[in-house]
Structure 1
Amino acid sequence: MPTAPTPHRPERPESAEGPDTVADPALLRKVALSSLLGTVIEYYDFLLYGTMAAIAFGRLFFPASDPAVGTIAAFGTLAAGYVARPVGGALFGHFGDRLGRKSMLVLTMVLMGAASFLIGVLPTYGTIGIAAPVLLVLFRVVQGIAIGGEWAGATLMVVEHADARRRGLWSGVMQMGSPLGFLLSTLAVTATALLPPDQFLAWGWRIPFLFSALLLGIGLYVRISITESPLFQQAARSRGSDTAATRIPLAQVLSEPGTLVRACAVGIGPFALTALISTFMLTYATSIGYTTADVMTGLLFTAVTGLVGIPLFSALSDRVGRRAVMLGGAVGIMLLAVPVYALVDSKSTALLILGMVLGQVVQSAMYAPLGPLLSEMFGTRVRYTGASLGYQLAALTGGGFTPLLAGSLLSASGGVSSTPLVAVAVLCGLVTALAVWRTAETRGRDLADDSDPARTAGPWRGHHGTQGGAARKGAAR
């Protein structure tokens, strides 16, 4: 049964599909499971590449280079995937806003699974020469395009089915797919890395990529059975009588560039920190004396930390607001960057793991509220496009180029000091803190309202401003 509109929101006709309706629990669980599985598969495939780029691809696909240049070249293909992510965000965002969330999510999953499988059967440089790295980059770009459309679609399917008071909690369930995918990819690499080095480089590295075909089949089975977002269906029914709705979603998002810039900037910190404590940590820690097994153990602990931290911080954002949780994480990394790298530089495996876990805690605080925050910053008719572009531009800026920047700065400093890595972490945390400070609180916003709450953003506007204040009242229990 639909609930009556609260006194703090404009009156509108009641609908069984309205945003204030408490979703059918069974349906919501099914949608959340579908989004979780899809995100696990997408991030398993995408992050698996990052790990392999750090430990194998330099020798397999760029053997003509010296080891340092080979590593940079391998991370260059990693960056290519991140460059493609905003392209995928714009492409799938457009059709997701025009045709629906569900069909785009099925397509992104197929693209990601196919690209990963093809990487698993790709001949190396020693077999087909220059065609090997060219095809590797091509498949990486396809991965980037696919994941560019995946995250926002999976997030929207959850938040547009959930009621306003628990969007953070349910999006946290979906966003557990990132650490779960990372955990799964790390376990797959760890298992294959137990092979003798010559066998791992000959064929063992392919097994985790080929395993993605099985995950794809499971994910598609669940995803095809879910229902379309009720808010999208509602918007689609009203589109015919609204001439503004015929505009290209990307054009509408770009017409308010400040909102998109803030949506990008709030995500730079968590993505940069992910790159520093996961992808690049393999390179840095092994260069100062740790074994690959030491770092992989640390990565397993960070994945488990994310599994706990993300749903907790997501649920907390329903209670205290998205801004407070994200600001806490951003300030946390600025304060903890020096201690974290002091622990890493200690040459103690236990302290290395502790440092990585501390980094993951503050990363989770910044990352967990991103799903509901970006979804609430855009109206239904452009939400897929806006949330996708904001998230993927943050991934490109914060995650795609951080390993390259960190590697270059570390090399320039002689590779013996973690000071450049500390500076990168602090700078990216500062960017996120300033962006969150300038963004209005969106918790509890009526998602059927296509007005832009971020247009009136200012310091603490979310607590005392008209739109942010109404959102909080609307979310009151």
Structure 2
Amino acid sequence: MSTVQPQRTAHNQRRVSFATLIGTTIEWYDFFIYATMAGLVFAQLFFEPAGESIGLLLAFASVGISFLFRPLGAFLAGHYGDKIGRRAILVLTLLLMGGATTLIGVLPTYETAGVIAPVMLLLLRVVQGISAGGEWGGAVLMAVEHADDDRRGRAGAFPQLGVPLGMLLATGVTAVMTGWIAPGDAFLEWGWRVPFLLSIVLIVVGYFVRRAVDESPVFQEIAAASKQSKVPILELFRKHGLLVIIAALIFAGNNAAGYMATGGFIPAYATSEAVGLERTEVLTAVTYGAAMWMVSTFSAGVLSDRIGRKNTYLIGFAAQLVTCFPLFWLINTGELPMLYLAMTLFTIGLGLSYGPQAALYSEMFPASVRFSGISISYALGAILGGAFAPTIATALVQATGGTTAVSWYLVGMTVISIVAVLLVRDRTGIDLSIRNQAAQEVGATVYDHRQPQVERQDSTELASVR
């Protein structure tokens, strides 16, 4: 078998890290702009006939609908990403997401177009979901497969940073619009459109940055050896189906916390009559929370290179678990400094249980089905965790009159993810190349440099707790 060994130069790795960070930031800016507006204005603009409470539930449900289409995007992107390469899929998903976001900015509202307005909104949200389903896996593999073995967690943290950075930009831009450029009624009339329209500028920048990046060296090896899987999805579920489920459950607890607590729910809840904070103040606090999330995410990626992915995850989920109740105790005081404290405490665990994910997922799956494996696991985890978390949280508050049930919901999701983490073996630093895949396919043993013994890397990667 003939393979090529593309050079992993420091300059090229920095360029890849920058490209994946820029691209994922743009993608998630688009995604979070929708979630933010769903909590603030979509109930009035697109679901007004349903009334205030039901309209808000419908607005948050529209956020969740896109998650249902993430697996489709993951299937498509995984299939073609494992067959034709990572880079082409990254460019395509960026264009799809940006186009849908820009079009939302020019949609008519229910007042001017009737029922066609929410229908068009939902269709564009579906396109966003398909794009998001394929984006993450490609960005992660470009970053991780270009990296040195002992810096994989750090490299994989860069596309992870795109999520909190995208949210920071989304809430920051919205805060500027509500506080200075289009305050009051002007925001409801036209100001909400501007953050969506800004996406077209970001798309142009992201497109040229991503086009300049070389293809993943691992995929170059696969292509040179003609080892692309004919039907990656079938091979994935035939050999690694259980691993996909476990990986999805690992992500579910983090995603539920991320989308419910720092996405659309908190801006809506903190500005409701129950808490009574001012909208721009809350958006600024959530923007601060996104910045803290970004710091803890990158720190977790670096830490995972030193103590392993599994240990970092367990520390992160433990931190998330102990803050599920204080998060809302602090917010319910109705005092702005307490909201900042809540964001600080909660985003520590959120970042520690998110930063290592790119490296952990990449080390779980063999090269020829890796794009499919990590994309589908991520998409399924998002459905189980974040898809309807704001809707569930809103319904729980409306049903119980308080946030205790919401905290228990977060506790339950976190515990599920802790159990899932305990079921997987730490594969920090293993060989990601096609050579390792060949060993797996013939059932040979594979050396894991984190462990003193030689061990078999079976199709599920499940192990006793270490």
TM-score normalized by the length of structure 1? 0.89
2:251 corresponds to: 267
Q: For residues 158 and 75 of structure 2, what CA distance do their matches in structure 1 show? A: 25
1:81 corresponds to: 66
Compute the displacement of 1:401 (Å).
Answer: 1.4
Compute the displacement of 1:338 (Å).
Answer: 1.8
Residue 149 (1) aligns with residue 134 (2): yes
Distance 1:452 1:433, change over 3 A: farther
Distance 1:468 1:35, change over 3 A: farther
Amino acid of the residue matched to residue 24 of structure 2?
Answer: T
Distance 1:59 1:466, change over 3 A: farther
Summarize the alignment of residues 18-167 of structure 1 with structure 2, pairs less than 5 Å apart: 23-167=8-152
Compute the displacement of 1:332 (Å).
Answer: 1.6
1:250 corresponds to: 233
2:357 corresponds to: 370
Q: More deviation in 247-256 or 150-159?
A: 247-256
Summarize the alignment of residues 333-348 of structure 1 with structure 2, pairs less than 5 Å apart: 333-348=320-335
Residue 213 (1) aligns with residue 200 (2): yes
CA RMSD of aligned residues (A): 2.0
Residue 296 (1) aligns with residue 279 (2): no
Q: For residues 183 and 252 of structure 2, what CA distance do their matches in structure 1 show? A: 38
Q: For residues 420 and 131 of structure 2, what CA distance do their matches in structure 1 show? A: 27
Q: More deviation in 335-344 or 227-236?
A: 335-344
Instruction: Could you tell me which runs of 5 or more consecutive residues in structure 1 were left unpaired when the two chains were aligned.
Output: 1-11, 456-461, 470-477
Counterpart among 394, 405, 412 of residue 420 in structure 1:
405
Summarize the alignment of residues 169-248 of structure 1 with structure 2, pairs less than 5 Å apart: 169-194=154-179, 195-239=182-226, 245-248=228-231
Amino acid of the residue matched to residue 401 of structure 1?
Answer: F
Compute the displacement of 1:300 (Å).
Answer: 1.5
Count of residue pairs the alignment pairs up: 442
Q: For residues 218 and 144 of structure 1, what CA distance do their matches in structure 2 show? A: 22
Whether the 8 Å CA contact 1:116–1:143 is kept in 2: the answer is: yes
Compute the displacement of 1:360 (Å).
Answer: 0.7
Q: For residues 279 and 190 of structure 2, what CA distance do their matches in structure 1 show? A: 19
1:16 corresponds to: 5
Q: For residues 13 and 73 of structure 1, what CA distance do their matches in structure 2 show? A: 55
Q: For residues 120 and 452 of structure 2, what CA distance do their matches in structure 1 show? A: 53
Compute the displacement of 1:339 (Å).
Answer: 2.1
Q: Deviations over 1:410-452 (max 9, x none)?
A: 2211x2x211111011111101100000011021010011266
Whether the 8 Å CA contact 1:109–1:220 is kept in 2: the answer is: yes
- Secondary structure of the structure 2 residue equivalent to 1:400: coil
1:444 corresponds to: 429
Distance 1:394 1:246, change over 3 A: closer
1:399 corresponds to: 386
Instruction: Could you tell me which runs of 5 or more consecutive residues in structure 2 were left unpaired when the two chains were aligned.
Output: 444-449, 458-466
Amino acid of the residue matched to residue 234 of structure 2?
Answer: A
Q: For residues 248 and 79 of structure 2, what CA distance do their matches in structure 1 show? A: 18
Compute the displacement of 1:32 (Å).
Answer: 1.1
Q: For residues 464 and 225 of structure 1, what CA distance do their matches in structure 2 show? A: 41
Q: For residues 241 and 185 of structure 2, what CA distance do their matches in structure 1 show? A: 51
Compute the displacement of 1:82 (Å).
Answer: 1.1
1:473 corresponds to: none
Compute the displacement of 1:340 (Å).
Answer: 2.2
Q: For residues 452 and 354 of structure 1, what CA distance do their matches in structure 2 show? A: 48
Q: For residues 3 and 215 of structure 2, what CA distance do their matches in structure 1 show? A: 19
Compute the displacement of 1:269 (Å).
Answer: 1.3
Counterpart among 365, 375, 394 of residue 388 in structure 1:
375
Q: Report sequence identity in percent.
A: 37
